[in-house]
Structure 1
Amino acid sequence: MTQKNISKNHVDENVVRLVATQIFLITLITLLTGWAWLALFLVADFGLRAFTRIPSPLATLARGIATALKLTPKPIFAPPKRFAAILGLFFSVGIAIFLFLNYLNAAYAVGAILIFCAVLEAAFNICLGCYVYNWMVVPLAHRNMNKN
């Protein structure tokens, strides 16, 4: 199976984990340097992954790395990952705002949460946003479907 064979409702787990590794590194650099524009890059990247089918820069790079390493694609269900990207978008917006306002401790706190989530995904294949999706979004969707 190649990258192109994965359906629109699925993403490659290897690519997701490589993106999480990049998010960890970029967030760490952002917090260590205070470069708010890096946080804005994360905002744009998360926004592309959450709300469009346009390949984000980090996903494109991760796909290239996965191909170069000849990693066998592992399709996983995409909607929980898109929801996790929405959460990442909010964290990135928070980091950017706090850095622009020079609220460094708040930026560090929000950044630490994003780093924690990225490390869990990259190193241990644990997606906290996916758990939130399954605990909150799916039950709400089922409840709304049952009302109709």
Structure 2
Amino acid sequence: MAAACPVALIKIDENLVRLQAFFVVIAVAAFLWSDSFWLLALLVYDFAVRVLGAPKGSPFFLTSRAVVKRLPVSAKPVDAGPKKFAAKIGLVFVITALLLAVGGYVEAATWLMGVMALFALLEAACGFCVGCKLYALCLPLFSRQ
């Protein structure tokens, strides 16, 4: 598949994104184990501040940045546009799961978060961003001709 066109014209470090995805996997796994609505609320907050452009308010961003600074890896810049699109999809997932869980549909929320965990695990372990692939497929629908 061809690389997606940039939207943000901003580069971000893929190492940082993948580590954030790893922390999402941990938080989702903790929710799946405990059914704690607070973990979903934490995920909503984390995704929301990143989607709204204030990553310094994101606990996962701050933790990931601190860890990446200590790792012997060089920055791997990637376009932020597809990653931001993927974060928006993640935000929709966690808001939906939180509403389902609070509404008493914990099993549906669990399934939705299971899918989210799979997507985050693919990003964290393999660098495969499902949201970015969707971005590349959807971009022609919204681009001007």
Between the aligned partners of 1:97 and 1:50, the Cα distance in structure 2 is 19
In structure 2, what residue type is equivalent to 1:98? L
Partner SS for 1:132:
helix
Residues 1:88 and 2:114 aligned together: no
> Where do 5+ consecutive residues of structure 2 fail to align?
1-7
- Structure 1 counterpart of 2:73: 71
1:8 positional shift = 6.8
Between the aligned partners of 1:85 and 1:42, the Cα distance in structure 2 is 11
Counterparts of 1:13-28 in structure 2, within 5 Å, are: 13-28=14-29
Aligned residues: 137
| Maintained 8 Å contact 1:80/1:129 | yes
| Maintained 8 Å contact 2:55/2:61 | no
Between the aligned partners of 1:116 and 1:54, the Cα distance in structure 2 is 23
Between the aligned partners of 2:124 and 2:112, the Cα distance in structure 1 is 18
In structure 2, what residue type is equivalent to 1:11? I
Between the aligned partners of 2:102 and 2:113, the Cα distance in structure 1 is 14
The normalised TM-score by structure 1 is 0.87
- Structure 1 counterpart of 2:36: 35
1:102 positional shift = 2.4
Between the aligned partners of 1:105 and 1:58, the Cα distance in structure 2 is 26
> Where do 5+ consecutive residues of structure 1 fail to align?
1-6
| Maintained 8 Å contact 1:40/1:96 | yes
Give percent identity, aligned residues only. 32
Between the aligned partners of 2:127 and 2:44, the Cα distance in structure 1 is 22
- Structure 2 counterpart of 1:4: none
| Maintained 8 Å contact 2:122/2:129 | yes
- Structure 2 counterpart of 1:131: 133
Segments ≥4 residues shifted beyond 3 Å: none
Partner SS for 2:74:
coil
Deviates more, 1:21-30 or 1:98-107: 98-107
The normalised TM-score by structure 2 is 0.89
Question: What RMSD, in angstroms, separates the aligned Cα atoms of the two structures?
Answer: 1.5
- Structure 1 counterpart of 2:112: 110
